[in-house]
Amino acid sequence: MHRFANPVRFLRLARPLTLWFGLSGALLTAFALAGGLFLTPPDYLQGDTVRIIYIHVPAAWLGMAGWSGIAVASFMQLVWRHPLASVAARAMAAPGAVYAAICLLTGSIWGRPTWGTWWQWDGRLTSMLVMFFLYLAYIALANASGREESGQRISAIFGIVGAINLPIIHYSVLWWKTLHQGQSIGLTSSTIDSSILWPLPLSALGFTLIFASIVLMRMRAMLAEAKVEARLKRMASA
């Protein structure tokens, strides 16, 4: 990981990966969504409503994975002083918040015909809403702290502490009686029939590649902005 601590070395790799991740992610997502809409059968209970899983599940996964990335990058920033860790954490915050919002929105759309209500203060839904607000708080805190080391440390600590919500989201369907269905997909088995399930891994991979492309793009933009600011400061002091 420290091999890429040099921004020049990182940018040399990030430039082509941004394009390839974005294109491959868009193609995979388009194929998966087309398959989910037109090639898979309706569920015997939920009917065509089940098709929203091809957006909802990857969005939920990336909403949680985004904060996991923030926590790991924040830990690297505090412990190893990795020069790109803070940049990576900040770059993941906005797309993570967007995916969390998509998860909440599609969950509400799914819940209306399934549960008969747009919203329920269910353990899984409530903890995911808390995650969305944590994202907004992190973004506000990171923007307010700027590039000052003390402010970045506070943002990093917040990123690590906020990870406490991740196991709550994951285990909420086990800890509390809830409207939200239990875990449908495991490492070795699934309660979803394969005729419906097959587009989901493709959709999840496509959304993940798009997420990675956006994060790399944001990191490149942040590094370019920092470079411009440093150049302006040198010109002002000359």
Average per-residue pLDDT for the chain? 88
Predicted local confidence at residue 184, as pLDDT: 64
Q: Are 139 and 82 in contact (CB under 8 A)?
A: no
Predicted local confidence at residue 6, as pLDDT: 72
Predicted local confidence at residue 27, as pLDDT: 98
| Percent share of the chain, pLDDT over 90 | 61
Predicted confidence (pLDDT) at residue 55 exceeds the cutoff of 80 = yes
In this predicted structure, which of 23-37, 126-140, 166-180, 198-212 has the lowest mean pLDDT? 166-180
Predicted local confidence at residue 189, as pLDDT: 58
Please state, as a whole number, how many other Cβ atoms lie within 10 Å of the Cβ of residue 130: 15
For residues 104 and 119, which has the higher predicted lDDT (pLDDT)? 104
Predicted confidence (pLDDT) at residue 187 exceeds the cutoff of 60 = no
In this predicted structure, which of 154-168, 180-194, 195-209 has the lowest mean pLDDT? 180-194
Predicted local confidence at residue 229, as pLDDT: 72
Question: Which range, 112-121, 183-192, 202-211, 219-228, is most confident?
Answer: 202-211
- Of 171, 174, 184, 163, nearest to 57 by C-alpha is 184
For residues 229 and 58, which has the higher predicted lDDT (pLDDT)? 58
Q: What is the CA radius of gyration of the chain?
A: 20
186-195 contacts: CB < 8 A, separation 24 or more? 192/53, 195/40, 195/41
In this predicted structure, which of 52-56, 205-209, 222-226 has the lowest mean pLDDT? 222-226
Q: Taking residues 195-204, what's their average pLDDT? A: 92
SS3 letters across 91-160: HHHHHHHHHHHHHHHHHHHHHHHHHCCCCCCCHHHHHHHHHHHHHHHHHHHHHHHCCCHHHHHHHHHHHH
Q: Are 135 and 96 in contact (CB under 8 A)?
A: yes
pLDDT digits (tens, 9 = 90+) for 133-186: 999 999 999 998 877 777 789 999 999 999 999 999 988 877 776 666 666 665
Please state, as a whole number, how many other Cβ atoms lie within 10 Å of the Cβ of residue 30: 13
pLDDT digits (tens, 9 = 90+) for 62-118: 999 999 999 999 999 999 888 799 999 999 999 999 999 999 999 999 888 877 888
SS3 letters across 67-87: HHHHHHHHHHHHHHCCCCHHH
Write down all domains in the chain, each with its CATH number in brackets: 11-40+49-178+197-237 (1.20.120)
